[in-house]
Amino acid sequence: MDFQTLLIHGGENPDDGLGDLAPPIHVSSTYAQADPERFGPYTYARSGNPTRTALEAAIAALEGGARGLAFASGMAAIASTLLLFAPGDHLIVCRDLYGGAYRVLTGLFARWGLETSFVDTADLAAVARAVTPHTRAVYVESPSNPLLAITDLAAVAGLAKAKGLTSIVDNTFMTPYLQRPLALGFDIVVHSATKFLGGHSDLVAGLAVTADAALGLRLAGIQNAFGAVLPPLDSWLLLRGLRTLAVRLAAEQATAGELAAWLAGRDDLARVHYPGLAGHPGQDIHRAQADGPGAVLSFELQSPAAAKAFMRALTLPKLAVSLGGVESILSYPATMSHAAMPAAERAARGISDALVRLSVGLESAADLKADLDRALAAARARPAP
């Protein structure tokens, strides 16, 4: 099936014999068994739930994987995936990544004994140099958060396979509608499904998909043992959100491209980051591995003071943590998505205090442009202290 058809008909709905077009919400915490030694497909809701099963089957189908798993948040999906590794193992991780992932790697997992090297994964030679006898995995984002840096996914996956490493990619910004990393050779794809997959700013969820059934079984064991599973209602909301992913993201991407081109032509911005702009680093690679530039862009104003004045003057994009909703959301990485990353580390990665990140929603491009223009004018006239 084409992807848009798969969004509607992929996976499997729990069969209750009633012909439901929308999957039912199964809220039971436990399930009666006919025999103490031979159980049915469901025993206890942490271990499995029919609504969650439908979602997990759907995301596996969309990503072209063997096993899908649903978690209570994007960070639960990431942390559970990291539990595949053991103290003393070493991971190679992209330098420019979500601050929550940086926090869990440098905090919780570092104390636990997992070692991490942050590397510019756009430089394949640098990735190869970072491999040690203890390296077990490569973990990347492409495009990255918040600078939209591009990694050659097929090249990194090939290097990982040659070195016997597990390859993990966060596909939150692109979703399987625009990019399917398992087809490029990756072993595991993770998502903050709170974002574009859910699409309505009304749920918190994480997803992981494995290319291999055996790896999926290992991760399912961690999901069951760790217990950070997605509840039935959130699973149902996410299934509903998936059905409109293609039409939502196509419209949001079109507006994002128009806004990025308009912003790039202004002289009151220092820099605009968007894979759809000519000259964006890695643009040719991105075009080869993805079906579009997405609906997230970031841009730098002339100073942190100007950035703060700009944010205070906006009306339509809402200043908030998160992205991927039907409403445009503006985030300030320095105090939001990357607040857990020390200022010196942000600066070393090029994440300045003048940088803002815009997730473009379904408002009209004209209205968004007018609001951004007014806020940029306010930033020029009254820079914040």
Active-site residues, by number, are: 46, 98, 170, 195
Q: What is the identity of the amino acid at 256?
A: A
Asked if 186 contacts 179 with a C-beta cutoff of 8 angstroms, the reply is no
Peptide bond into 146 cis (omega under 30): yes
Report how far residue 24's alpha carbon sits from residue 295's, in angstroms, rounded to the nearest whole number: 31
Asked if 326 contacts 199 with a C-beta cutoff of 8 angstroms, the reply is yes
What is the residue whose two structure tokens read 């940029």? 376
Report how far residue 219's alpha carbon sits from residue 5's, in angstroms, rounded to the nearest whole number: 28
Report how far residue 219's alpha carbon sits from residue 206's, in angstroms, rounded to the nearest whole number: 14
- Write the burial class of residue 291 (CB in 10 Å: 0-12 exposed, 13-18 middle, 19+ buried): middle
Give the SS3 label for residue 13: coil
Report how far residue 209's alpha carbon sits from residue 242's, in angstroms, rounded to the nearest whole number: 15
Angle between helices 74-82 and 213-226 (to 10 degrees): 110
Q: Which of 194, 195, 143 is nearest to 169 (CA)?
A: 143
